[in-house]
Amino acid sequence: MTTSASTKQRQEEDFRGWRSHNGRDYFRPLGESEYAYYIPASRNGLGDMFLHASFTTKSKSIIMDPSRIALCWAITRSRHPLLMSKVRKRQRSTPASINGQLSELISNYLNGPRTLSDERMSYLVISTSSLSTETDDADEGDYDLLMCAPHFIGDGASLHQCTHEFITLLASAQSSQNLKQKLTQPLNWVRERANVDLLPPALESRLSVPSSRLAKAAAKVNYLQSMHNEIGGHTLRRNQLGPQKTVMIEKSFSEEQTLKILAKCKQNGVTVNHALFALCNVAWGQSNLNFKAIREPLMMYTALNLRPYLSQHPSTTYWFLALTYFNVVLPAFVPTTLAAFWMRVRDVKEQTRKVVKSPFLTSRAMRGARVRAERVRGVSAGTNGGPSGGSGASGGASGKSEAKSATAQIRPFAALFGLSLIGNLDLVYRQEEYVAVGSGSEGEGEGRQKPGGFLLLEHTFGKKLWLHLCWDENGFEEGHVESFWECLEDAVEELVIGDGGDE
């Protein structure tokens, strides 16, 4: 079936533009990337993100007044249209309120009935470990924050930035009355009715891709060549032992250890992100010494932020999805010397550089979005894992449907797991902007997974390096994940912290 040029143009206009029937409510279709995340989320909340942070305030009677919290959350949402949006597909019932301890609340969010819905695209919980009494004169209190949003309207960076924005507003010198007045002001896209573009469009409408026939052919050849080179024959040993139970474990390194890690990476001309791939490579080999050897390379995937590649837009919101994915392929055998290890880290750096600097990056991002959308539409039914599913059991960062050429069919194309590399959060949470709130801790942040889910997260916060592992406790062979985690900790200590890490 063919589509006329005029029909294509009309589809593109519908795809990128916001419209309104009454001047109050605005709507647009989901983009391909948004759709690829939305469908799994609409079924069981797959990918729904959350961020947990804790902080201390010495002025709780003012700052933590419930009405002030509600005002600050309302203002924060009003600045980001997608947090206020609804998906018009079908109505969903609102889940029951979640009670209990913080750990139970997080566990229920990850494993229980879905908290978010098509009608509720953002959710905030503020809790404290002890209840105030009338005789409580202390004005200092410890609080935990849980901010939630679906993955199809943003990413982890959006969630962290929004948490910083909310705490900054909460701790500001503005009175609650001033905040209330600010909330009553018309929203910018309503106030400037002639400029509906203040609403964020879909990612694909802001990516510039070549339109000539020759350029499209070159992009397709590049895509197929990359598929030919991306080989992965290793997968986690999944065995569903019971109902899904997503849990998180973490490892933090002291400031001194973190400085050693950063210095060692700088000495070798790489970053911590590059090193983590090679460390996982080593940990996987060491934790599977008794497992049948696999000759094929090991493949992992990670996300790439597309915001630097987007066309300019008048909207000031950072809440929109702007991700694509790429694979890193490494030899399966464990490097036997420190020099070999750092050479492998530099190989990760070179693979990353080729992806980031490729003139075909935006074309590959568009193709990848289309493939992931087709996957959830059922065009490539039966695909297990990959970024659209959140756990990366197989399929890597590209869609299998595009890989089934005569060449690719004989090559294994499975990703071991995905890495979420958030970066330095000390650049996001700027303490000087909320002096009324004492220094706290940025806790774990991830999202709902499917059975057998597995995702490794890394970031720096409070001048410390943090590793988080989010996985289905009942989804793997007994001891399989624990062994990998132990070997990963040992690899960091031996290769990049200890004195043996010096070449």
Q: Is 242 exposed, middle or buried (0-12, 13-18, 19+ CB in 10 A)?
A: exposed
Which of 378, 386, 234 is CA-nearest to residue 324? 386
Give, as one character, the DSSP assignment of residue 307.
Answer: G
Q: How far is CA 33 from the centre of its chain?
A: 13
What single letter denotes the amino acid at residue 199?
Answer: L
Q: What 3-state DSSP class applies to 358? A: coil
Predicted local confidence at residue 29, as pLDDT: 84
**CB atoms closer than 10 angstroms to residue 68:** 18
Predicted local confidence at residue 96, as pLDDT: 40
For residue range 447-503, what is the model confidence (pLDDT) as tens digits? 899 999 999 999 999 899 999 999 999 999 999 999 999 999 999 999 999 865 455
The rounded distance, in Å, linking the Cα atoms of 348 and 328 is 7
pTM of the entire predicted model: 0.83
The rounded distance, in Å, linking the Cα atoms of 181 and 332 is 60
pLDDT at 380 over 60: no
Mean pLDDT, rounded, of the chain = 82
Answer whether 21-204 and 212-501 agree in fold: yes
Extents of the domains making up the chain:
21-204, 212-501
Which of 247, 286, 235 is CA-nearest to residue 483? 286
CATH 3.30.559.30 holds for 212-501 = yes
Confidence of residue 379 (pLDDT cuts 50, 70, 90): low
Place of tokens 């409070």: 462
Average pLDDT over residues 106-128: 92
Query: Which is it for strands 298-305 and 418-424: parallel, antiparallel or unpaired?
Result: parallel
Which residues lie below 8 Å from residue 126, measured CB to CB, with a gap of 6+?
64, 69, 143, 144, 145, 146
Contact 418, 300 (CB under 8 A): yes
The residue ranking higher by pLDDT, 291 or 181, is 181
CATH 3.40.630.10 holds for 21-204 = no
Confidence of residue 381 (pLDDT cuts 50, 70, 90): very low
Which of 98, 101, 147 is CA-nearest to residue 124? 147
Confidence of residue 399 (pLDDT cuts 50, 70, 90): very low
Counting residues of the chain whose pLDDT is more than 90, the rounded percentage is: 51
Which of 434, 419, 191, 220 is CA-nearest to residue 327? 419
Strand extents, DSSP E, 383-503: 418-424, 437-447, 454-461, 464-472
**Sign (positive/negative) of CA torsion 317, 150, 459, 439?**
positive
Strand extents, DSSP E, 150-257: 246-252
Confidence of residue 401 (pLDDT cuts 50, 70, 90): very low
Contact 438, 259 (CB under 8 A): no
Q: How far is CA 208 from the centre of its chain?
A: 23
For residue range 431-451, what is the model confidence (pLDDT) as tens digits? 777 766 665 666 667 789 999
**CB atoms closer than 10 angstroms to residue 155:** 23
Q: Quick one: tokens of 461?
A: 């916060």
Q: Is 342 exposed, middle or buried (0-12, 13-18, 19+ CB in 10 A)?
A: buried
